[in-house]
Structure 1
Amino acid sequence: MLDKIQELLGEVDAVVVNSKDDLEKFRIKYISRKGILNDLFDEFKTVANEQKRAVGQELNKLKNLAEQKLRDFTEALEQSAGDSKASGIDLTLPVAPNFAGSIHPLTLTRQRVLEIFARMGFNHEDGPEVETDWYNFTALNFPEDHPAREMQDTFFVEKKAVQKDDVLLRTHTSNVQVRLMEHKKPPIRSLMIGRVYRNEAISARAHCQFHQIEGLYVDKKVSFKDLKDTLYHFAKEMFDKDTKIRLRPSYFPFTEPSAEIDISCFICKGSGCNICKHSGWVEIAGSGMVDPNVLENSGIDSEEYTGFAFGMGIERITMLRYGVKDLRLFFENDVRFLRQFEGA
């Protein structure tokens, strides 16, 4: 029996445990009720009296070694698990892929529009989003009873005793045009880009806030043909050479004559969809020759100078450019949607 115990001492001493499964196997094999140590103590009862002292010492030595090994293994595994949890890293997980960042589609369109008009000599101007009635309406030739001045169309911040002093969230970026003409004399060739606000129901085609691009060109002998050629070149550059364009007579208080600019729908290719209202055409801009009253209100001689202006929504252009059918997607910050523009 002594030889057997000596052999087991060497075996237990050489055991290596790397996991909880290994630890449990060690416990069951040597220390459990059905383990080797329990069998040895049962066998010890049959040992001759003159050998019990020597055998008992070796058996206790084996028992102490096995129990000590179990404690050491348990402590080592707990320490290892604690270090892994503290580091916050699970080394068994697969490597996560790196996702490249993406520019918001509205920003991509904004940059492209600026690039196209910059090649035509337009610079970029900016102005306040919280504006007075004078710059947003009165100076732009809006009548005092115009529906756009009503609460159901405009977000007012503060109502004053004098209407032109009312404070509101701008409904278009045309306020920047007036401010620009007040402080700069012609020739003027500028773009105004920014966020605007209108009290509208949110849907696939409209929102209470959106982004607008407006252009202004004021100089001597500026004609309606200059306006038409500018927008025609923009449509070809922004979309493709097969883009069709049409002008429809319209009315705006700050331009005369005025026209709506339509292009062929890129989403349905003219067959009809919810974006083009099943007409095959999508309005992208309002435009016209700057009304002489607007020039005079801004301190520019309307007898010497003429000009044209246009305005379009960045969201509408982006929807056409990328085939997006719901305007609300631009404001929801859904990463599944935004990741589609990586590398665009």
Structure 2
Amino acid sequence: MNLPNSLEAQILTLQQEGEKAISSANTLESLEELRINYLGKKGKMAGVLRSMGQLSAEERPKIGSIANLAKETLQAFIDRQRQTLETNKIKAQIESETLDVTMPGIFRPQGKIHPINGMIDRALDIFIGMGYTVASGPEIETDYYNFEALNTPLDHPARDMQDTFYLPDGNLLRTHTSSVQIRYMETEEPPIRVVAPGRVYRRDNIDSTHAVVFHQLELLAIDEGLTFGDLKGTIKVFLQAIFGDLPIRFRASYFPFTEPSAEVDLQWNGRWLEVMGCGMVHPNMLKAVGYDQDIYTGFAAGFGIERFAMVLHQLDDIRRVYASDLRFLKQF
């Protein structure tokens, strides 16, 4: 006889208990657990209502109405608490991600171009403006590309001037970027105008003006009717773009891959300074890549990047550019 009152009391007790628990939930995860615990199919409220089967037909509607009201109340509490928690979560995220624009920024020193890279970039800008294409090649070369195709056979005395580092497999570290010219000519047909910057290696004695690893930039032009006058004009335009309108002279010299050959001097601070070598491409080089020597002529020139950088920046020791000394590098 006391079953209806007992069920009603249990339902109201669960409602009060649930309201308190839901109001105390501090995370969305714990709130969802409470919803399942009280309102789920296997939850506490469903467990109490299983006893309704023992009620009379007249008592069931009344208890059912009380149970529905309790579930709706708990659901309303859950919805309200969920909205509160979601609002707080968004607010906390906004606060944590807020940028205070009045705070001083974090200073990060700006990087600078190394004098070697800066010199390469400057030279390339000039040659690209003259219509040249930039090419590159491997630093580990074969004897053929580094010497033989450049008219320097095994017994040639010029090899002594470019003694290099040899590898166990017979290859070597390239002594100049002229090997790039051969590789480029093998794949391209005239007319060509190409410039090849890169790192090279020689077994020099290290001092203030020599290093075993340094950088070169070489240019090559092949076309019909090119003359030494074209070579002189190209070099003059380039050097004046780098150093200004200074006196330039060409001295007869020798390179196995050019004929005739010349050293180029620049009058700098009252004295003549050797800055690059040049010459007309030797016919044997044209023959090595399959170009018709009766149709095409060409010229080539090359210089050391470090030498140009040392002259422009008035450096007294080539080793300074390799030392990674910030006191030195911050000057550029």
Pairwise TM-score range, normalised by the shorter structure: 0.5 to 0.7
Q: CA deviation at 1:320?
A: 1.1
User: Does 1:239 find its partner at 2:230?
Assistant: no
Which one of the candidate residues 95, 99, 104 is aligned to 2:109?
99
Q: CA deviation at 1:147?
A: 3.6
Q: CA deviation at 1:146?
A: 2.2
Q: CA deviation at 1:321?
A: 1.2
Partner-residue secondary structure (3-state), 1:281:
strand
Unaligned runs of 5+ in 1: 1-94, 160-165, 271-279
Q: Contact (CA 8 Å) 2:158, 2:256: kept in 1 or not?
A: no
> Matches of 1:328 and 1:258 in 2, distance apart?
30
Q: Which amino acid aligns with 1:340?
A: Q
Deviations 1:124-169, CA, capped at 9 Å, x for gaps: 000000000000000000132124545982111136xxxxxx3100
Q: Which amino acid aligns with 2:254?
A: Y
Residue in 2 that maps onto 1:329: 320
Q: Contact (CA 8 Å) 2:162, 2:175: kept in 1 or not?
A: no
Q: CA deviation at 1:283?
A: 1.3
> Matches of 1:219 and 1:148 in 2, distance apart?
27
Deviations 1:174-231, CA, capped at 9 Å, x for gaps: 0000001111000010100000000001111110010000000000000000000000
Which one of the candidate residues 130, 141, 150 is aligned to 1:120?
130
> Matches of 2:330 and 2:213 in 1, distance apart?
23
> Matches of 2:215 and 2:241 in 1, distance apart?
20
User: Does 1:254 find its partner at 2:264?
Assistant: no
Q: Which amino acid aligns with 1:213?
A: L
> Matches of 2:162 and 2:258 in 1, distance apart?
24
Residue in 1 that maps onto 2:224: 220
User: Does 1:299 find its partner at 2:303?
Assistant: no
Residue in 2 that maps onto 1:264: 267
Q: CA deviation at 1:292?
A: 0.4
Partner-residue secondary structure (3-state), 1:300:
coil
Give the direction of change, closer, same or farther, for the CA distance of 1:113–1:151 in structure 2 (3 Å limit): closer
Q: Contact (CA 8 Å) 1:154, 1:199: kept in 2 or not?
A: yes
Give the direction of change, closer, same or farther, for the CA distance of 1:167–1:148 in structure 2 (3 Å limit): farther
Q: Which amino acid aligns with 2:298?
A: G
Which one of the candidate residues 174, 177, 191 is aligned to 1:187?
191
Taking only the aligned residue pairs, the percentage that are identical comes to 50
Residue in 2 that maps onto 1:282: 273
Unaligned runs of 5+ in 2: 1-104
Q: Of the two structures, which has the highest relative contact order with CA contacts closer than 8 Å and spacing of 6 or more?
A: 1
User: Does 1:229 find its partner at 2:233?
Assistant: yes
> Matches of 2:315 and 2:162 in 1, distance apart?
28
Count of aligned residue pairs for this structure pair: 228
> Matches of 2:137 and 2:322 in 1, distance apart?
23
User: More helix by proportion, 1 or 2?
Assistant: 2
Partner-residue secondary structure (3-state), 2:232:
helix
Residue in 2 that maps onto 1:28: none
> Matches of 1:189 and 1:107 in 2, distance apart?
22
Q: TM-score with structure 1 length normalisation? A: 0.64
Residue in 2 that maps onto 1:85: none
> Matches of 1:111 and 1:200 in 2, distance apart?
26
Q: CA deviation at 1:96?
A: 9.8
Q: Contact (CA 8 Å) 2:140, 2:173: kept in 1 or not?
A: yes
Q: CA deviation at 1:281?
A: 1.7
Deviations 1:90-141, CA, capped at 9 Å, x for gaps: xxxxx99753321100111111000111111111000000000000000000
Which one of the candidate residues 138, 141, 145 is aligned to 2:148?
138
> Matches of 1:179 and 1:212 in 2, distance apart?
17
Q: Contact (CA 8 Å) 1:147, 1:153: kept in 2 or not?
A: no
Q: Contact (CA 8 Å) 2:263, 2:274: kept in 1 or not?
A: yes
Partner-residue secondary structure (3-state), 1:296:
helix
> Matches of 2:149 and 2:161 in 1, distance apart?
19
Q: CA deviation at 1:284?
A: 1.2
Deviations 1:234-259, CA, capped at 9 Å, x for gaps: 11101112x22110000000000000
Q: Which amino acid aligns with 2:142?
A: T
Q: CA deviation at 1:233?
A: 0.6
Residue in 2 that maps onto 1:73: none
Q: CA deviation at 1:299?
A: 1.2
Flag as ranges the 4+ runs of structure 1 deviating above 4 A.
95-98
Q: Contact (CA 8 Å) 1:154, 1:171: kept in 2 or not?
A: yes
> Matches of 1:147 and 1:155 in 2, distance apart?
17
Q: Which amino acid aligns with 2:154?
A: E
> Matches of 2:106 and 2:131 in 1, distance apart?
47
Larger radius of gyration: 2
Residue in 1 that maps onto 2:100: none
Q: Contact (CA 8 Å) 1:148, 1:154: kept in 2 or not?
A: no
> Matches of 1:194 and 1:152 in 2, distance apart?
16
Q: TM-score with structure 2 length normalisation? A: 0.66
